[in-house]
Amino acid sequence: MSRRQRLRGRDVNGILLLDKPIGISSNGALQVVKHLLDAQKAGHTGSLDPLASGLLPICLGEATKMSAYLLNADKHYWTECKLGQVTNTGDAEGEMIATQPVPVFTEEAVNAVLASFVGEIDQIPPMHSAIKQNGQPLYKLAHQGIVVERAARRVEIFSIHLVELSGDRLAFEVHCSKGTYVRTLAEDIGAKLGCGAHVSGLRRLQVATFDIDDAVGLDELRDLVDQQGPQVADTMLLPADYALNSWPQMNLSEDVAFYLKQGQPVLVPKSPTAGLVRLYHHGQFIGVGEILDDGRVAPRRLVREN
């Protein structure tokens, strides 16, 4: 029996933009989508906590091979902070560990603090995170009351804008690099304001070039599938290469495509000088390549052709 025969479900390929609701984990949402679409294979592209909502691209079938590139993508968030209260998790699900009075801030003062975080910054990952230390996820240690030293990580804040300031409520939008912990950013903003803060609301608005306005809600998806069957979602799927549409595109000749599919680096005229590229053959996306130091293109992640 072949591997494909052993797999259960439909051979569904593409990217579904899901608007994950509050109250369910990213993996929980993924499993619901996989079941609704009766898909053989699925993976998400970066966790959102149960407290958070918003854009969760779900890769299906051959598109799962592109998941890692979306994990590395920039992201936009809308964030609401509760000023004057610090929790042990950095969000509203944690226990209160400190409170301070909240001064009356001007928008100018808050904007100045927000602007101070733009650029490359170092963040210490929160204990309540999935980062592993000595093979153990930090959150498991945190649940045991264990706090360990964590190395700072360099991330980049591309932009941050004040949305609302009202009493002890502060809302902002942030465009940040992969690996940014918004909870940590909120705590650091609160510390710089002198009153402390934790995240009370979080919504992801963009991942790479994908936008929340193009996403489908879980309840809406469930209703459509109940009414019309799992195939109804196939029309919502984006091709796998949409995850990479800001990358250079290379169109391969018959001979060049043949050798590249055998795993061999190839010479392609007018190639970029470095970096990752999208590869096409007869107009069809066949995967990701990387420019080597000698100018050849090496296959890095190929997808099955239809």
CB neighbours of residue 299 within 10 Å: 19
Q: How far apart are CA 163 and CA 185, in angstroms?
A: 16
Q: How far apart are CA 130 and CA 27, in angstroms?
A: 13
CB under 8 Å to 102, separation ≥6 — which residues? 83, 84, 167, 168, 195
Residue 183 structure tokens? 């909870």
Helix axes 182-193, 107-115, angle to 10 degrees: 130
Does the active-site annotation cover 294?
no
Residue type, 107: E
List the catalytic residue out of 11, 19, 49, 211: 49
Active site (catalytic) residues: 49
